[in-house]
Amino acid sequence: MKKIRLFLKYYQSIAIIPSIATLFFSFQIKSLGISFLIAAVFSKLFILIMIWFLEWMNNRKKENLYFYFNSGITQIQLYTSTFLIDTIILFIVTFIVLWIF
Amino acid sequence: MDFLEIDSVEISFKNKPILNGIYLKAEQGTVTGILGNNGCGKSTLLRIIFGELQPSFKSLRINGKRFSKPFLTSNEVKYLPQFHFIPKSMTVQNAFYHSNIDINNFYTLFPELINLKNQKFKLLSGGEKRIIETFLILKSNAKFILLDEPFSHIAPVYINRIINLIHKEKQHKAIIVTDHMHKYIIDITDTLYLLKDGWSKEIKNLSDLELYRYLNF
């Protein structure tokens, strides 16, 4: 449970751009159809990769990751969980958008 | 008694060899010190032991058994890096919660800092952050503790308390420490190594530090 909270804490630290993208893609799915969901998932993966690339460019010593390393979480685990959390949020928001609007 | 050994480390940055002739042993119940000039590879060596940095070759052994996967995944090692590593948006209380450490132990040792409990790390001074981070790493349940410059930005009165804590914690841990405040390192260590030109040398006599041009007595 503590690890999940740590994954969420990391996601929170990079959440602004993925959240905007989630809202944008949810409304796109509403107008273009549910098949656009697959394209949205890949687009969001691309956005996350770009965020991590910029993070790596600005902070090659990985200063922001050592707290997670000391909690026994590797970089791969952190990035994989971030992608999963982001995808789950996309699914939930899309469902809400399709249901309400 | 648990012990850690590392040797045969080969790592270079931009074709410049940083480490090539290293041997270091850290045993439970002892403090192992690493001294060396700026850029000699002290932090690089600690990062390699921690498992965050992968060299071209290394031989890391725990109790004589080779350990090939990143050490950090085992939860048996904790590393205090040179920089502040706790997320800026995290509160002091949450940092203790996630580290599984009772915050009251901290306030027993540092009662002056009791008002920081609900503060976020971004609002603390460099020294306050360093004290908390060093405490969290030292009090963790890991067998091997790596401290990179634990005394930087800390007032002497707090340094003495941290030294006492190191002496207490070393009873059931192996602690490796490096810092440019060499007097503290010389005082607290049981085994001392000097890093120079990519190799390590165990220092048996303090005059060796002058011989290897690290200090002028």
Among B70, B79, B83, the residue with its CB nearest the CB of A74 is: B70
Q: What percent of chain A has pLDDT over 70?
A: 100
| Interchain proximity A66–B74, CB inside 8 Å | no
| Interchain proximity A62–B75, CB inside 8 Å | no
Average pLDDT over residues B99-105: 93
Alpha carbons A66 and A62: distance in angstroms, whole number = 7
Q: Is the pLDDT of residue B167 over 80?
A: yes
Closest chain A residue to B145, measured at CA: A70
Alpha carbons B143 and B136: distance in angstroms, whole number = 14
Alpha carbons B90 and B67: distance in angstroms, whole number = 33
Could you report the per-residue pLDDT of A58-77, keeping only the tens digit for each?
888 888 899 999 998 989 99
Domain ranges of chain A: 17-100
Alpha carbons A18 and A89: distance in angstroms, whole number = 10
State how far residue A7 is from chain B, nearest Cα, in angstroms.
12
CB-based contact (8 Å) between A59 and chain B?
Answer: no
Instruction: Write down the pLDDT at residue B16.
Output: 85
CB atoms within 10 A of CB A26: 22
Average pLDDT over residues A31-41: 88
Instruction: Write down the pLDDT at residue B17.
Output: 86
Structural domains for chain B:
3-208 (3.40.50.300)
Q: Is the pLDDT of residue B71 over 70?
A: no
Closest chain A residue to B44, measured at CA: A61
Q: For testing the chain A interface, which of B75, B98, B138, B140 should be mutated: the one with the most A CBs within 10 Å?
A: B98
Q: Are B33 and B75 in contact (CB under 8 A)?
A: no
| Interchain proximity A62–B52, CB inside 8 Å | yes
Closest chain B residue to A72, measured at CA: B73
The contact set of B with A (CB < 8 A) is: 50, 52, 70, 72-75, 78-79, 81, 83-87, 89-90, 97-100, 137, 140
What are the angstrom distances between the C-alpha of B27 and each of A30, A45, A50, B46, B197? 62, 44, 43, 15, 25
| Interchain proximity A64–B70, CB inside 8 Å | no
Q: Is the pLDDT of residue B153 over 90?
A: no
Q: Is the pLDDT of residue B216 over 80?
A: no
| Interchain proximity A69–B137, CB inside 8 Å | no
Q: Is the pLDDT of residue A14 over 70?
A: yes
Average pLDDT over residues A23-46: 90
Instruction: Write down the pLDDT at residue B208.
Output: 82
Closest chain B residue to A61, measured at CA: B83
Structure tokens at A49: 């990769």
Instruction: Write down the pLDDT at residue B76.
Output: 86
Q: Which of residues 16-45 of A touch B (CB under 8 A)?
A: none
Question: Tell me, what's the ipTM?
Answer: 0.89
Q: Are B27 and B1 in contact (CB under 8 A)?
A: yes
Alpha carbons B180 and B154: distance in angstroms, whole number = 13
Considering only CA atoms, which of B169, B213, B167 is closest in space to residue B187?
B167
What are the angstrom distances between the C-alpha of A41 and each of A15, A82, B75? 16, 13, 33
What pLDDT band is residue B212 in, cutting at 50, 70 and 90?
confident
- Cα of first residue to Cα of last residue in chain A, in angstroms, is 34
Could you report the per-residue pLDDT of A18-33, keeping only the tens digit for each?
999 999 999 888 888 8
Q: What is the pairing mode between strands B191-196 and B199-202?
A: antiparallel
Average pLDDT over residues A1-17: 91
Alpha carbons B208 and B49: distance in angstroms, whole number = 26
Considering only CA atoms, which of B95, B100, B99, B84 is closest in space to residue B117?
B95
Please state, rounded to an integer, the average pLDDT across all residues of chain A: 92
